[in-house]
Amino acid sequence: MFELGTSRRIVSLVLLVVSAICLKKTIHFGPILEQGSDHKMKYPEVATFDLDYTVWPCYCDSHISPPLKPIRGSSGEVRTVVDASGYQVTIYPDIYRILADLKQNGVKLISASRTWAPDVAQQMLKTFKMSYNGSIIPLSEVFDISEWGERSKVGHIRDSLKIIYGDTNLNKRDICLFDDEGRNKEVERYGIKFVYVKDPERGATWKLYQDYLKNNK
Ligand SMILES: [Mg+2]
């Protein structure tokens, strides 16, 4: 009887130890896999965004008549603005999430637009507001630099680097450009990664962004 009881106790103990090991592995493996997938993501040092049809679905110089009125959501964010003629523009759905993620990872943010109405685009940047680190901030403060003018995006990026780092060396840094215009793919000749925003309905999406981060070398 005693021996049988002892054997049972030993078997129970072994089962307990095995269960504990399995449980520990289950608890432990989750974060490791997660870390592994995170490690595949490589953030750039500088991320550049075109505005019209990349960040919002309109042309500032032909669709918008200021002044602009914000439509504030319950969170305090402004995702929709209304112009003087009643025309409504809602920022693309994933933009705030993308910008917040880049900012949280220490990436410098540039907006680069060739619009003929930079004053209107600036008003749009001031009126759209997103939540970041517990505060509501306008897009004009989310971007470190905003560049304007009918010139190449490479010129926009060079001028921004000069302001941020004091030099214009494009090859020294990991830089990307999100843009809906295929012609701006020319930036790749200067070592800048071009992320083509093809969908005028959704603009720069979270999936496009994640795919870029996963493929960034
Ligand atoms: Mg555009």
Q: Give the tens place of pLDDT for each residue, 88-106.
A: 999 999 999 999 999 999 9
Q: Answer whether 216's CB lies under 8 Å from 193's CB.
A: yes
Bridge partner list, 196: 179
Q: Structure pTM?
A: 0.81
Compute the distance from residue 103 Cα to the ligand 1 centre, in Å: 22
Distance 51 CA to ligand 1 centre (A): 6
Tell me which fold the domain 42-215 belongs to.
Rossmann fold (3.40.50)
Cα separation, 39 vs 61, whole angstroms:
41
**Distance from residue 24's CA to the centre of ligand 1 (Å):** 50
Whole-number Å distance, alpha carbon 20 to ligand 1 midpoint, is 56
52 is known as an active-site residue: yes
CA distance 185 to 187: 5
Distance in angstroms (rounded) separating the CA atoms of residues 38 and 166: 31
For the chain, give the mean pLDDT. Answer: 88
Tens digit of each residue's pLDDT (9 = 90 or more) over 124-147: 999 999 999 999 999 999 999 999
Residue 194: strand pairing partners: 177
Residue with tokens 């009881």: 5
- Answer whether 44's CB lies under 8 Å from 106's CB: no
Q: Which residues contact 114 (CB under 8 A, 6 or more apart)?
A: 148, 149, 150, 151
pLDDT of 40 reads: 78
pLDDT of residue 84: 96
**Given the residues 38, 50, 101, 119, the one annotated as active site:** 50
Mean pLDDT by 10 residues, the chain (217 residues): 63 63 44 46 96 97 95 97 97 98 98 94 98 97 95 95 94 96 96 97 98 94
pLDDT on residue 35: 41
- Measured distance CA(51)–CA(178) in Å, rounded: 9
- Residues bordering ligand 1, an ion, CB closer than 5 Å: 50, 52-53, 180
Q: Find the 15 Cα to ligand 1 centroid distance in Å.
A: 63
How far is CA 17 from each of CA 9, 25, 29, rounded to the nearest angstrom?
A: 12, 12, 18
**211 in active site:** no
